[in-house]
Structure 1
Amino acid sequence: MTLALRHARVRYGPLEALHGVTLTAPAPGLTVLLGRNGSGRSTALRALAGTVRLAAGAVLWDGADVTRLPAYERARRGLCLVPERQAVFGSLTVRENLALAPGAHDAALTAYPQLEPLLARRAGTLSGGEQRMLALARALSVRARAVLVDEPTQGMAPDVAARTYEVLASLDACVVLAEQRLPPAPAVRRTVVVYELRRGSVVFAGEAAELERRGSAR
């Protein structure tokens, strides 16, 4: 299974955020869309999920063109998007947020046992790192075929962030992360596909190890 963009262009009004981006995320596997703020990595993630429309190009999933398929239909087919902001329902409790995700929550609470004593708390009262844990716990509960996460470890303590990368890397799914820097080892010890974006264009495509070698050679 693969999830791909082909010559994708996205415009926000008169501004073009993606300039003909082509990339392929295999499954199972971990793909990282790397770049600074404004690079287009988050837009590429949203284009795959269908929450922004393409001005040109295509989105392919399992070889089928799903460009015109709305985001909710992609979700029904097993795609789960965890955005950077507003990823949980703040007025609902942690338990109620988890209940919105169909499926067993055992794996989610095993990955994030810190959430168990917070089940009765409203999600809006959690810290930023706790909200990221809750958003990812919901994604784990649905056992999605494709998991797209924008800034997965934002606000998390280092040990929780390391655990998060281990969990994401172990999923039997197409996992695509939008990041400002490469995930730390051990997540990148296995083959990780990396696309580095700058100003809406892909400037590097390859394995994480190759990008690290280039960086150390500079």
Structure 2
Amino acid sequence: MSAWTRDLAMGIRFAAGGGREGWIRTILTAVGVGLGVALLLGAASVPNMLQNRDDRSVARTPATAMDGKPPKADDTTILVRDTGTEFHGRTLTGRFLKADGDHPVLPPGLDKIPAPGEMVVSPALRDLLDDPSNTLLKERFGKYRQTGTIGEAGLMSPLELYYYVGADPLTSAHGAHRVAGFGQDDSLPLDPFLMALVVLICVVLLTPVAIFIGTAVRFGGDRRDRRLAALRLVGA
């Protein structure tokens, strides 16, 4: 048996043989460590969550040419116009789409451009429209026929209320602009002040946990110290 295995076994015997105080100390320490790990995992996952959200937003943003000029109409370009509405304090956003040819570029989450009068919605918006109590919302979209749902890759979150509508006619006179692809990155790097603020928040959240763990470890410390002193005397 290796040294660390013997030390571990001795620690388990001390924890289990310390009576009620030993069990309370062990449980409190485990709870404190669990809280600390949960906070660290949560803090570590936040940047990835935000980055994933930004990546999906960028992926569905219409791309523009380097010279800023709109592309010429061809078999792959589409016309796009942003739209949106409000319902019971919730924001619904979407886009009108019209293909210029037979092989148009597709926004993430779509397998085809909706035909005129058709609408593709997010799962959350679909559930909202299917609710019998939301008759006013159904009336707003009553002239469009639902033909599918937007895939996960085209949504910033599962609860996002988003939709695409096939429109004809759709021209620049209607506020539309022509695009040849999606994936325009207009995001800015995280401000150093915000990064420092995130680190400070993590420290503030972990400080009470560290105090809790320290208090739990010292719980019943007198008895533990007496046992260690007895072991030293026996060893001597």
Q: Which TM-score band (shorter chain)?
A: under 0.3
Larger proportion of strand: 1
Structure showing the higher helix proportion among its residues: 2
Rg larger for: 2
TM-score normalized with structure 1 length: 0.21
